Structures are given as structure tokens and as C-alpha cells.
Chains A and B, each alone.
Chain A
């Protein structure tokens, strides 16, 4: 076992040979945070006295609230007692870089990986590898990272390290003995892991005399300090008070502070080749400090940017509406604020007949959508309705005009020549018992199977191409539901395809309700129409007249229900002259009316829109 390093190395003056940059690839509950805690305490950067569970996760919450800098990368000292091969004995600086953990942020993950030379593949010894981990592992291999496979939670009674060792060997083609067994909880094996990382991960390589080039791998907004930019130095060096330039936008800023996290932000005299740290320039919007961009010196700029930069591309669109219409300005302000810390979020005002004023928002994926709506509700106290998520369609009409459609209401009327939709390559990892179920689900979602392979003895990875539009519509919930929660999903865009897609409108008393229109495959139009008309029949209270509910493609009605007219709405009694009570009742009824949205003459309760859009009609027990 290695002793703790007694003195840390000075940032800005560390020989790259003594730097190791790595990330941890792990599924969400496979123990990454606990392992990170153990590393922080074993390396001594967090004293035992200050240690608390999930030290870095605490900062997660703080970042969400915009109050403190999250430690996106932690610098930890570590000593090797003895030399092995070309690796010398002595004190090293280990930079552990955090990777966002989910499917929508593949691009951000790829940038984090690009900042590292090695990756710890952390697998729960009781659960085995998951689809997302697998996807990130492939990304790491594509980036030529040195992989250090680790089985975690070996202290658990349910742990089956032998079984999952085979799984990993099957994936990596490594020697079973190369797979470390650790317990983040008890600390068993963690020093050995740090030794192994130091010995195996290559030192960063760069030209200290070249023009400075640093890659931005994360950028977060802090309400006190502005944007904190996390970088990995490739060539040259950056110093405090230096004027820097972002190579994609050519915008120039002065470095107000530069430093490393260990794990609290610590200003330094600069950052040199191979080092990982943060910059503060006083910029207030993360769009000016984009993940993947190259930071260079303004005075002596580099000519070639680091490769791999791309603009974030929204893939999924949804309308967000405040339940209380008077909250619209609050929603606008909240989105403006969130934008500061979320470069991928796009939005523009939108009006819906049914839902009033709101915003059409673009997201990287469904989880991004969920995170944003949750933050809006939690941090800004908003109650929101989100319309059914949609993807980007390219619709070409018979007169050869092409329209980009992110909202069913933009779908052109008249003759359509073709509709093109985005397609993704989906990988689903599932226990082999559920293969049939998963295949059935994918087939039902217009998936085309590309292949399947065993991962270990009893799990299978299925590969499909599938329209993204099918995935955004509750595919993940269905997948989890049908596999007792075992299956996991990853996907990446692969292009577009033409498909026979139509817009289905839902009409109340002949008037289309924009919030319920959907673009679906012709084969599924009837099922969608039936589903929505039945839902609405259950949700909309009876009116003083009969209300037909129809589903239509253009002028053609494909499904129909109707709500019979209300026959009784009168209180028979006079309550012994208690007229005050009658008047109060009237006021109450009028108050209730305010929560109704008018669609033509039909009063629709706000809750009906929410329930119809969220689909919790079928699962709820019928009232009465």
C-alpha cells in the first residue's frame, strides 16, 4: 500500500510526467460517489473530520441552486513508493474529472473523456454493466483511453464478482487478474486502485513552448462569480490577469482567477501542460464559454483549434406552459436564468389556444427535458404543463416547399410529398429472459434490428435503428416497465429517414385542440386517435350540450367519442332562507370556472389537459 503524499505538487509548475488525468465511467447507482469520497479521504484532500457522504454530490445540489462552484475536477496528491518500468517513484497529481452520467449528454461526455488519458470502468459487482456505461466505455476506447476495470461493492452479500469478471473480460479482452476488486464503502482496494491508475495511465503530452491551448470540458454558472470554465491544458500555459480568447467565437476576456479544485477552488499562479483546473473571467453566460471550445492566449493565439468541438443540437422539443397563466413572466425569467448555466437549452415564445402563453423549448433529449422542467418547478416554484415531446421533422409539400416542423401545429396542410424524421441507433442491454419482450417493444416502435450480442452469460445487448420520435414518446418507461427495471438504453443520432407520417388532430365540438395534435406514423394514427378521444371522454366534465370528440387526419375523421349533455345542475333546496350560502356557492362555482380553459364553447379543466398529456388516465382508478 502506498503512503499518503505528504506534500502536494505546485500547480503551474508540475512536470507533466507526474500528472495523471482520468475519469470514472459508471452507471448511476454503481457507487461512483462513494468511491470518489474514499479517494478524497485516502489522498488526504478532505480530512476525515470534514468528510461527509457523497462529498462531490453535495456540490451537485449547490450547482443546481447556483450558489457555489461545483468541483468538476478534483486534484489529489498520491505517492508511489517504488518505480515500475518508466514510472518513477515520487509524488503525483491525480486529476479526477467528472463525467455527466446520462444519455442526453453524449457530447459533454466525449469532451470530458477527451480531457483524460485514462478511465476507471466502475461496475457494480452485484449488477454488472449497463447500457449507458457500455456506451461511454466505447467512447473511451474510441478516445484511446487506458481503461482500468474495477468491480465495486464487493462487500455486498449479493456481489458476484466472478460472474461480472467474465462479463468484463468478454468486453475488454483483458486478463481476469487485471480487474481490481474494491469497496468504495469500506475502502478495501482503493489505495491499490490509485497505485494502478498512477502506474498504468499515461502522462499527458503537450508542448510547453507552443501557443496556449486549453480545452473546455465543462462550464457552469455561479450567481456570485459568473461562469466558471473547467479546462484541460494541452499546450503552453495560462496565467492570472492574462487576456484569453475563445477560438470558436473569437471573444476575448481577462482571466480574473485561475486555479485547481482540491476539492474547494484554490487559486494558483497558472496552469501548465497536462494540468486540469478552472478559469473565471467574469462572463455571465455559459454560451460565451462553450464546452468543447479551445481557450488560447489573446496576445499569442494558437492558429489551430483542438478538434471535436460542435454546437449543442436540440433534438427534442416540447411546449412548456405555466398552469397559472399569470406565471408566464416568471417562466420567462426562469428560462432566461437557466440559460446562463445550460448552453443546450433553447426556447422561444409560443401560444396555444388550449394552454395560453408558454415557450417552445428545445432539449438534448428526454432527460434534459425532465431536468429542466424539474429545475423550473423546484427552483422557481412554477407549476408547468409540458406538451407531448416532438422531434424535428422536415416536411416537403407537393409544391416542393420544405418546412422544418418542431411542433405539430407547424405541420403544413394540403398535399404532402414526403416527411423526413430523425433516426437513432439504440443499444439496449437486457437480461436474456426479456429479449423477446424488448424485441416486441422495439418492433412496435418501428425499430430495425441491427444485431445482438451476449455480454457475459445472461445478458444481451440489442442494436436497433429506430425513429427518435418513437423513443421520446414514453419508450423508456415502457422498456423499464416490461423488464422489471432491468433493461437500460442508450442511443445516438444516425441521420434521417423518410416515413409515412401524418398529423392527427383532436377536435372538441369540431375545434382542434392544438396541445393534443401529434405527428405519428400512419399505421398508428388510429390507435393514437382512439387513445386520446377515450382519455378526453373520461376527463372532460359534461357540458350543457353534447360534445363530440373526434380524431382526424386532415378532414378525415378516424375516431369519435361523445360526451352526453349534462341534464342536472341545480340545487333543489333553499336552506331555510340562507341566501348567503347560495351566493357563496355561486362564487365558488365561478371560481372553479376560472380554472377552466375554453375550447370553443367547451369548458375544459386545466387538470384534464395535464392528465391527457401525461397519460395517467389509464393508470388511475376511475372516480365515483
Chain B
């Protein structure tokens, strides 16, 4: 049994980290996540930490880049004090919110602060999420010039009534345009899709998947819609205005997208993420080098337990077994930064057993799987049952790795519980 979840400790005002974070630092990459907590409108299903201009309580978008850069400077100090600052940055990811609501020059300035502070590793991956509404060729060219390598568009669906239920405002016709511009700018392209929206049929979903494939993206994420507490969608479902997403239909949709993408030359590398197998297969010249990696290495870093610093309101960080998270509201965040204090709201220092539980929980979800050496005796016994139930690949298990089958991916949480001996 893993220990109970630790009560989060208060985070120190100076943000300093314990010496223990240095242990094993050579085996961990370092990434930076920059959160941009702004949206023009809030979509009904979204519970991310983001704010429309009405909700900012005096915080200003135009001040944001400066505040983020100030936190980068704090981070430089903290990591240097902990003597874990010698690593160049492997991945940078701008997420939101809608990062592209800020001028390209703001994104460039924040990226530049990262580069100046720690330097970029060779072949570093630099991604921003983008709303198809809010970018044009000029914007994308500016990103490329600033050092971005990759853009991830929130396409979600190609079917108007599905987009309407999700309250996405973009015109599906715009997807080919923005993808074309990103190609022209020399950026890798990822498309985000959502399936299982109330009212979405299997045929609707097939249409969206086909539309996405027609764009020949380098990477596709497909997330099952989750009805989060406190969202407008949850209220609509509670009032009976909208149907609850059906698990079986979502399972059908997952199987459909996996089959279709695999056929079209994409491999899954994490439960919800697929990347192009190699350049050339989908008939489009890759802008990146032939050896390019199309998986999102930043995304993988979360599942592989690497280090990253999350900049911005509500952002989560992990460095060497210490996790912390920033205050959520942009105004509170601005106050902390202005006072020269760490914006962290809470932190926890993980013990060995909790770290093991996390490794099981996270690594099972990726294609490389979980080394069976991470399991305790009960967990190793459970593997046999999981193979018998068709959830874990027998050949991989024989090699000492727990790797999920297609059915296993759909039941990944149940697999984790069984591996942790519940």
C-alpha cells in the first residue's frame, strides 16, 4: 500500500528547494512550461485555469510577459541555489488558456528569457498551443523566428454542431488555412481533438478524424471529453439539457481513432497521443530534419518523471521529487511576483514509496511501458491476471516491461489499481 497522500506543505516565500532534488539529476531532463491564463471566452467544458478579460480583477494581459520573466529569474536563482542549474532546457511548452492571445513578441520575449537563462539543448522542442482563430501567417513566422519549432492547434472537431456544444468559436474551414501557414513558417504541426461530446455520433467523430488526417499533421492528440465539476457543461448535464457522454461510445471512438491513425502512419506513444512514424510516409515533406522526433517530448516528460518548471498562475512544477503549484489567479500571481516572493501556493516532497506509485501511475500510460522492476511482489503477481484479461502485452511482459494492449489503454486506470495491489 502506498502511503496516504501527504498534506501539502506551505511553500517557502523564497521558493528554495531542499538539497535532495540534486539526487539523480543527471538522469532527468529539464523543461519549462509557461502558462498563459487568458481566453477571449470560456468554453463550456473547460476547467483549466484561464480567465476572460472580465474575470481578471485588475490583472492586465500586457503586463503578463514581464511577470513571467520575473518568475524565470526567480527560478534561475532557486535552481542555482540547489545546484541543479547546469542543464540546458530540452523542451519549452506554452499552454493555456490561449497563448496566442498575446502578441507574438510577448511569447518571443518569454522564450528568449528562458534561452538566456539556461540555454537550449541541441534539437530542443519549443511548442505553443494556438487557437485557429487567433493566428495568421505573420504571427506564425514571428514564432518561428523567435525559435519555436512546433505549434499545436485546438481543432477539437470538424463538425459544426459538435463545436457548438463545446462552445468553440472557430470556423472549421480555418483549420486547413492555419495548418498551411504553420507549414509555410516551418513549424511542426499537432492537432488536438476531443471525442465523446454530447450529441456527437461515431460518424461525426469519423468525419473529424478524417479531416484531421487530411491536414497531414505530425502529431495528433485525441482526448475523451471529461465532464469536470463546476463547468457549465456539468450544470447542463445535471439539469438534463445535455446527455452524459457514454463510456461505451467513447470506447468505440477511441478504437476508431487508433485504428484509423495507425493505418495512416501514426503510432500511439501515450494513451491520448499519436505521432507520425517517420517523415515522408504521409506524403508531405517534413520541415524538420529526417531524424526528427514527432512525439511531443514535453508531454512525455510528464509521464517519464523528468524535471520541469511551470511558470505562471496555477502552473505545476516538479524538480527531483518536489512538486509545487502556483497561486491560481493572475492578480494574486502578479502581487506575489511584484513583492519578489515565490508564487507557489503549496508543495509536497514525495517519499520513496509515493514516487514509486507515481512512476507506476505515469509510465504505464506510455508505449515504452513500465519496467516490472518497479512493481512490488503483489504487483508482479497482478501482471499475470492482466495478461489473462488481455490488458497487458504478454511478449513485453516476458521482456520485463508492462505495456498496455489496446483494451488495456482503455482500462489504464483499472490496470494501475491492480498493479498497485488494491
**B-binding residues in A (CB < 8 A):** 544-545, 566-574, 576-580, 582-584, 586-587, 589-590, 593, 624
Contact = CB atoms under 8 A, between A and B. Distances in A.
A508 B302 CA distance: 41
Interface stretch (B77-85, B245-253, B372-380): B245-253
Given A568-B247, A576-B315, A545 B389 contact: yes
Nearest to B252: A567
Contact of B354 (A545, A567, A570, A583): A583
Interface in B307-348: 308, 310, 315-318, 323, 325, 348
Interface of B: 4-5, 8, 33, 35, 48, 95, 222-224, 226, 244, 247-248, 250-251, 254, 271-272, 299, 302-303, 308, 310, 315-318, 323, 325, 348, 354, 357-358, 361-362, 389, 391, 407, 409-414, 416-417, 420, 422
A122 B244 CA distance: 58
Contacts of B315: 576-577
A579 B318 contact: yes
B226 A583 contact: no
A566 B247 CA distance: 8
Given A576-B35, A576-B316, A580-B323, A589 B48 contact: no
A624 to B, nearest CB: 6
A566 B272 CA distance: 19
B226 A571 contact: yes
Given A571-B413, A593-B417, A576 B48 contact: yes
Contacts of B247: 566-568
Given A569-B414, A573-B272, A584-B5, A579 B302 contact: yes
Contacts of B325: 578, 580
A566 B408 CA distance: 11
Given A577-B315, A624-B244, 14 more contacts: A545-B389, A566-B411, A566-B414, A567-B410, A568-B248, A568-B411, A569-B414, A571-B413, A572-B271, A574-B302, A577-B308, A582-B362, A587-B4, A590-B417
Contacts of B316: 576-580
Given A576-B35, A586-B420, A568 B389 contact: no
A230 B308 CA distance: 80
Contact of B271 (A570, A586, A589, A590): A570
A568 B95 contact: no
Nearest to A570: B412
**Nearest 3 interchain pairs by C-beta:** A567-B251, A570-B412, A568-B251
A588 to B, nearest CB: 10
A589 to B, nearest CB: 6
A578 B222 CA distance: 19
Contacts of B412: 569-570
B244 A577 contact: no
A590 B251 CA distance: 23
Contacts of B248: 567-568
Contact of A579 (B222, B362, B411): B362
A524 to B, nearest CB: 35
Nearest to B348: A580
A587 B323 CA distance: 17
A583 B223 contact: no
Q: Which of A574, A576, A583, A590 has the most CB of B within 10 A?
A: A576
A586 B416 CA distance: 9
A587 B3 CA distance: 10
A576 B411 CA distance: 21
B413 A572 contact: no
Given A586-B420, A587-B4, A568 B224 contact: yes
Contact of A573 (B226, B250, B310, B409): B226
A222 to B, nearest CB: 45
Contacts of A587: 4-5
Nearest to B299: A574
B299 to A, nearest CB: 7
A579 B323 contact: yes
Nearest to A593: B422
Contacts of A567: 247-248, 251, 407, 410-411
Contacts of B357: 583, 586
A577 B254 contact: no
B375 to A, nearest CB: 15
A569 B413 contact: yes
Contacts of A573: 223, 226, 272
A577 B318 contact: yes
A568 B254 contact: yes
Given A577-B316, A584-B5, A544 B414 contact: yes
A590 B414 CA distance: 10
A319 to B, nearest CB: 28
B310 A577 contact: yes
A578 B317 CA distance: 8
A586 to B, nearest CB: 6
11 contacts: A568-B247, A568-B250, A571-B413, A577-B302, A577-B310, A577-B315, A579-B323, A580-B8, A590-B417, A590-B422, A593-B422
Contacts of B222: 572
Nearest to B248: A567
A507 B357 CA distance: 36
A582 B411 CA distance: 15
A572 B417 contact: no
Contacts of B420: 586, 590
A586 B415 CA distance: 11
A572 B410 contact: no
A181 to B, nearest CB: 56
A572 B254 CA distance: 10
